[in-house]
Structures are given as C-alpha cells and as structure tokens.
C-alpha cells in the first residue's frame, strides 16, 4: 500500500519540553523507529509532520530584528521543513540501515487569498505562556493570542490548502522507490497570482488538512494521523469516556470534538476516506502498523 503518515507536533516536541535540538533529535529517532516498521511491513511511505512549536520559536528569534527585517511565516515554514526533515531523514535512514533512499522535499501548498481564515486567526504556533506573559508579548509584537488548554499561545491565519503544485516531483521520487518527507508544517503557504506565478503568504496551513489533500492527490491507500493518544474518544477526559474504533465519514463529521486537537484530524480523515475510499487511521505513533491492520486506533472508511 501507499501510506501517508502524518506526525503530530508532539512527535518531535512533547508539550512542556524545552525547544532544544537534543530533544527534537531524540523524538525524531523514536518517530523514525515506528515509521521504519511501516516500510518493513512492505508499504510505500510518505511522511508529513507538524511544525507549530518550531515555527513559533523561529518567529521569536526573528523578534530580535527590526519589524521590517523579520522573516515572514512562509520563509519560516520553509526553514522548519528543512530542519525537521533533516532530522527525520537521517534517523529514518539509520533505522532502515540505509537500505532505502530517503529524501526531504520543501513543498509549496497553494491557498486562497480570499479564505476567511485570514480574517480570523486560529492556528496555534510557538511556546505556551501564562495569560499575563502572552498578553505582554502580544502587545509588544502585534500578535493575536488565544487560550490553549490552561495556557495561552500565539495564533495565526490557517487557510485551507487548495493545491500541491509539487505533486509531480513527489511522484517522480516515489516512482524511484524513495521514501519522501514532505509538506512539513502543512507545507509552505503560497498564493497563485493571476499570471500563474506563485508568491509566499503570511500563514500556517493545518498539517492534517494538507496531509489529507496530499494523500488524495497521490491516490494513497491509507492516511495515518499519528499522535500521542491511542484513539478518538467520545467524552475524552470525562467519566465514561469511550474509544471510537470504526467510523464512516458521515459519522466522523458528526462528532463534537475540540477544534485545537482531534477536530482537524477527524475532518481530514473523513475527507480522505470519502474522496479516495481508502483507510484513514488515527492513533499512537508507536502503533502505526497496528492501525493499518485495524487492531489499534480509530479507523475512518466508507462503510466504517
């Protein structure tokens, strides 16, 4: 099978961990060990990943510049794609004993400049803060902030992905047996101008939505949305919570789930399963192969 595996941001930096290269390297090594099992099971693999903490860190570093000299989010997204891709690429090569080529592709993703998301930023990036510190940083830097659990973070525009113009390059690499790491952080957000040219835009695309679009355009057999929770739960965190194992796209869309966590994953899973007829699985990174075999996680597919 052709499998697109989307790693949540916690695959490279767990909540509360310092944003150090050492922590990210250790988490990339653990992620690569699980991804290698997918390859050993005989599947063709495409890997995507989040970048919320990393792009936020680079934006903080950019605050040292004058406002007019700071790099925009599309450039910072490209930088994080290279940084995270490098770590995953190297660790995956090591996990597979260099038996199969691995390549990282910085991937442009077209969005619509008229998307209402540009008027209502919702995408969390960067570290978490107390409300007081977040408000102080927002006032100094012109940020918009929102509550993330019991803490506060910066939010930026998250327009829907429309097109992946680099799909031809991806197909060439996959045709040569290359494991590809791409669409990092949801891809590099770009606009297509009236003359057909592309230009970057200040935004961060949701990684799950971009991964679902990628899986559809690649005609993948399965989309794995891998996180640190073993399944999608009804009434998660409350008495009587129950894991949901098998869902149709229609039932998945009817679930009331948090917009900042499982909501985007369920929406992406339903979109892929409905469009391609393949399996969309949600669950723990270390159970990736079991999710493919429908012995772990939550599965979204036509007919459930």
The residues annotated with a catalytic role in the active site are 9-10, 123, 207, 265
Nearest to 270 by CA among 292, 301, 229: 301
Q: How far apart are CA 230 and CA 103, in angstroms?
A: 29
The sign of the dihedral angle between the CA atoms of 88, 94, 96, 99 is positive
Nearest to 46 by CA among 176, 220, 238: 220
* Pair type for strands 108-111 and 161-163: antiparallel
Alpha-carbon distances of 206 from 117, 152, 232, 265, rounded to whole Å: 11, 19, 19, 10
Alpha-carbon distances of 133 from 59, 137, 140, 300, rounded to whole Å: 16, 6, 11, 40
State the burial class of residue 87 (Cβ atoms within 10 Å of its Cβ: 0-12, 13-18, 19+): buried
Alpha-carbon distances of 270 from 4, 120, 129, 172, 193, rounded to whole Å: 15, 24, 33, 28, 30
DSSP conformation letters of 115-146 = -GGGTS--EEEEEEE-HHHHHHHHHHHT-EEE
């Amino acid at each position: 099978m052709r499998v697109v595996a989307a790693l949540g941001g916690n695959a490279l930096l767990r909540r509360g961990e310092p944003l150090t290269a050492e922590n990210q390297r250790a988490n990339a090594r653990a992620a690569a060990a699980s991804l290698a099992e997918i390859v050993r099971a005989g599947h063709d693999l495409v890997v995507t990943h989040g970048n919320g903490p990393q792009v936020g860190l680079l934006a903080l570093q950019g605050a040292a510049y004058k406002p007019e000299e700071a790099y925009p989010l599309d450039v910072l997204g490209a930088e994080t794609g290279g940084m995270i891709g490098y770590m995953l690429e190297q660790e995956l090569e090591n996990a597979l004993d260099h038996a199969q080529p691995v390549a990282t592709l910085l991937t442009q993703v077209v969005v619509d400049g008229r998307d209402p998301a540009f008027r209502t930023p919702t995408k969390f990036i960067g570290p978490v803060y107390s409300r007081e510190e977040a408000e102080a940083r927002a006032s100094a830097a012109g940020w918009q902030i929102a509550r993330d659990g019991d803490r506060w973070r910066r939010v930026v525009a998250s327009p829907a992905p429309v097109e992946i113009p680099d799909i031809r390059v991806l197909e060439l690499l996959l045709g040569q047996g290359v494991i590809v790491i791409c669409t990092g952080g949801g891809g590099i957000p770009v606009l297509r101008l009236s003359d057909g040219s592309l230009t970057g835009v200040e935004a961060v695309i949701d990684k799950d939505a971009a991964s679902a679009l990628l899986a559809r355009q690649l005609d993948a057999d399965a989309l794995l949305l891998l996180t640190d929770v073993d399944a999608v739960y009804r009434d998660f965190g409350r008495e009587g919570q129950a894991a949901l194992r098998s869902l149709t796209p229609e039932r998945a869309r009817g679930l009331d789930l948090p917009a900042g966590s499982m909501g985007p994953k369920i929406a992406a899973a339903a979109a892929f399963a409905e469009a391609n007829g393949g399996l969309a699985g949600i669950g723990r990174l270390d159970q990736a192969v079991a999710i493919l075999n429908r012995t772990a996680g939550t599965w979204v597919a036509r007919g459930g």
